[in-house]
Amino acid sequence: MTASRQSGTSLDDALDRLQHAHFYGEKLTPREQRALTRFIAERQGGPGAYAGSFALTAPERKAGIRAFTGELFTSASARHIAGEECCRVLATLRGRDPRVERALAAARGNLASRILPGVDASPNAGAFCCGKCTVAFWRHIAAGGFNAPQQRLAEGMRLLRSRRDGKGGWRRFPFYYTLLALTEIGPGLAGHELKYASTVFKRRLARKPGPDKYARRRHDIMARAAAIV
């Protein structure tokens, strides 16, 4: 999520480093991957962890965290999103050690127990809480989290379509974070929403991205979306 600093400083930093490496296909050294993933694993079930997932540090609980795409999330949303994102990124890695496997299994089980009963009793099995929390939910589902993934993502896409703002974006859904999720869900389920958003991202792709890492990531996410549409 935020800057790629050394592991052991915050959950946000560890997540950001792992997500950056996964997105760009960078190979981490076994030592770095072990340090980052164990730092995350040690925070499973810690104070303030959402539903027994992964706990933010005290400063993060106050200041919030940033998505891979740069949006700032705070309060309960940050706690939930961090839990989903930690599960997602750990699930994408090969060679997880037993300590990390146990933490991931516990966090996923806890999240499912907390989230799914309410979700499945609601009108939409592919949505949870607000727009940004729903996107985190989708990203985790797309990485193998939770049951009935096809049904959940299909219902989620129907919800997203109903939230179109008529300008290439969606009401209450952060544009770039949502677009990233759509590229991961793929054209089979997300094709219509990717095509709808292309009126925005194809125009923005013509501009040179800014110098900061979030601007570069957003540009590269839009390029991936353009390659799908």
pLDDT in tens, 109-130: 999 999 999 999 999 999 999 9
Q: Are 101 and 151 part of one and the same domain?
A: no
Rounded Cα–Cα distance for residues 134 and 140 (Å): 10
Residues 134 and 53 occupy one common structural domain: no
List, for residues 51-67, the tens digit of each pLDDT value.
Answer: 999 999 999 999 999 99
Residue 123 φ/ψ, nearest 5 degrees = -70, -15
Co-location of 28 and 102 in the same domain: yes
Q: Say how many domains are in the chain.
A: 2
Same domain, 164 and 190: yes
Same domain, 113 and 130: no
Per-residue burial over 60-84, b if 16 or more Cβ lie within 10 Å, else e, is bbebbbbbbbbbebeeebbbbbbbb
Identify the domain boundary among 121, 143, 175.
121
Tell me the pTM: 0.94
| pLDDT, the chain, mean | 95
Lowest-pLDDT range, 8-12, 133-137, 176-180? Answer: 8-12
For residues 175-196, give the mean pLDDT: 98
Last residue of a domain, one of 121, 154, 169: 121
Residues 81 and 29 in one domain: yes
Could you give the residue ranges of the DSSP H alpha helices within the chain? 11-24, 30-41, 58-63, 75-91, 98-120, 131-142, 149-162, 175-185, 187-205, 213-228
Tokens encoding 200: 């925005």
In terms of domains, do 100 and 156 share one? Answer: no
Residue that finishes a domain, picked among 121, 147, 172:
121
Q: Which domain holds residue 201?
A: 125-229
Distance CA 184, CA 221 (A): 10
